[in-house]
């Protein structure tokens, strides 16, 4: 392939297929804003444990830090903050510095949580949504739905969390409906 679909480095595109990285020229081309020529600095980083780990979505902030959302079944996944420390298996979010040389934070959001999507605000706080079938998310005060809505053993619940920019805690955490 001549070009890979990657998120826009110009910050103008919310739709990832609007931008391409031309591997032959080593440059970005954005179909939406028609900008091109930005050099891409690539790095490779291996992060994970000894079992199954996957990444569903990535984002970069204005400073070039990389954020990745996914899941793990590795009990030894490198975690700097776990919100359910008794069970390290579940949804994960980690942040690498812009050079890809250091893990700024790595957090396990909750056991048996499936993180589906996330976005960042201008401060670096991450908004994550997904589903879970557990009723022990540490919801925050004053939220829309502090307890799961369903009563069945096999119910799945939506969740929305806002992780602090430092990755040290939930600024907001709520259940949202029954799936």
Tokens coding 60:
């970069």
Q: What is the pLDDT of residues 132-148, one digit of tens each?
A: 888 878 889 999 899 88
Measuring CA to CA, which residue among 175, 177, 167, 161 is closest to residue 78?
Answer: 167
Tokens coding 169:
């805690």
Our CA dihedral for 43, 105, 98, 171, rounded to 10 degrees, sits at 140
What's the pLDDT at 40?
45
| pTM for the predicted model, two decimal places | 0.74
What's the pLDDT at 20?
52
Residues 129 and 92: their CA atoms lie apart, in Å, by 12
- Which residues in the chain show pLDDT less than 50? 1-10, 12-18, 29, 31-41
Residues 163 and 47: their CA atoms lie apart, in Å, by 20
* Pair 145, 172: CB distance under 8 Å: no
What's the pLDDT at 5?
42
């Amino acid at each position: 392939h001549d070009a890979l679909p990657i998120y826009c480095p110009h910050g103008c595109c919310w739709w990832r297929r609007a931008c391409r990285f031309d591997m032959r020229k080593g440059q970005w081309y954005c179909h939406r804003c028609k900008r091109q020529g930005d050099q891409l600095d690539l790095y490779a980083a291996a992060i994970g444990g000894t079992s199954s780990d996957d990444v569903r979505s990535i984002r970069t902030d204005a400073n070039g830090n990389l954020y990745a959302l996914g899941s793990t079944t590795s009990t030894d996944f490198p975690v700097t903050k776990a919100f359910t420390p008794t069970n390290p298996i579940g949804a994960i979010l980690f942040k690498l510095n812009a050079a890809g040389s250091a893990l700024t934070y790595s957090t396990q959001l909750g056991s048996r949580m499936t993180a589906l999507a996330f976005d960042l605000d201008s401060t670096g706080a991450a908004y994550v949504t997904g589903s879970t079938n557990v009723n022990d998310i540490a919801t925050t005060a004053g939220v829309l739905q502090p307890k799961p809505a369903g009563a069945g053993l096999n119910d799945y619940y939506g969740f929305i969390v806002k992780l602090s920019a430092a990755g040290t805690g939930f600024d907001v955490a709520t259940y949202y409906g029954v799936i």
